[in-house]
């Protein structure tokens, strides 16, 4: 856990954030500034800065993040209408929180 990382604090339950899902590896919560009717963040508990910092040993958490997004899309009933999965990578890619997270965005016409 990184001392000054907001998503480390959130994922370890230190900010009182409501989780839609939590397990040993990751948490899911609603984006505080949603860009769509459904905007969730899938966040691993382990601190990884961005996609750039992934190694072979992270294959499992990456797969779990994507399969969790798939499951949450079903739960939020946006799987049939469709959705976007987005990783912003570093400043030029729009990343502002430097702790890996997957955006699940949709629900425009569900
Ligand atoms: P990114 O631009 O990919 O780094 O996305 C970071 C996202 O985190 C933005 O969409 C923010 O709205 C969201 N965010 C920042 N602080 C919080 C918070 N305390 N709770 C929920 N979402 C947050
Ligand atoms: Zn972190």
Instruction: Compute the distance from residue 32 Cα to the ligand 1 centre, in Å.
Output: 6
pLDDT band per the 50, 70, 90 thresholds, residue 101: very high
- In sequence order, which residues have a C-beta less than 8 Å from that of residue 93 and are 6 or more positions away? 87
The pTM score is: 0.97
CATH code that applies to domain 6-106: 3.30.428.10
Q: Quick one: tokens of 15?
A: 């900010």
Ligand 1 atom having least distance to the Cα of 103: 3
Average pLDDT, the chain: 97
Give yes or no for residue 97 CB within 6 A of ligand 1.
Answer: yes
Which single residue is written with the structure tokens 């994922």? 11
- In sequence order, which residues have a C-beta less than 8 Å from that of residue 20 and are 6 or more positions away? 28, 29, 30, 40, 72, 75
Residue 110 pLDDT exceeds 80: no
* Domains of the chain, residue spans: 6-106
């Amino acid at each position: 856990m990184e001392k000054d990382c907001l998503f480390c604090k959130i994922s370890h339950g230190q900010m009182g954030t409501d989780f839609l899902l939590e397990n040993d590896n990751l948490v899911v919560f609603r984006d505080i500034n949603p860009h769509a009717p459904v905007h969730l963040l899938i966040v691993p508990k382990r601190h990884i800065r961005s996609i750039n910092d992934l190694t072979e040993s992270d294959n499992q958490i990456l797969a779990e993040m994507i399969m969790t997004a798939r499951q949450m899309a079903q739960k939020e009933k946006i799987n049939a209408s469709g959705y976007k999965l987005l990783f912003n990578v570093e400043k030029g890619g729009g990343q502002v929180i430097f702790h890996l997270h997957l955006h699940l965005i949709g629900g425009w016409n569900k």
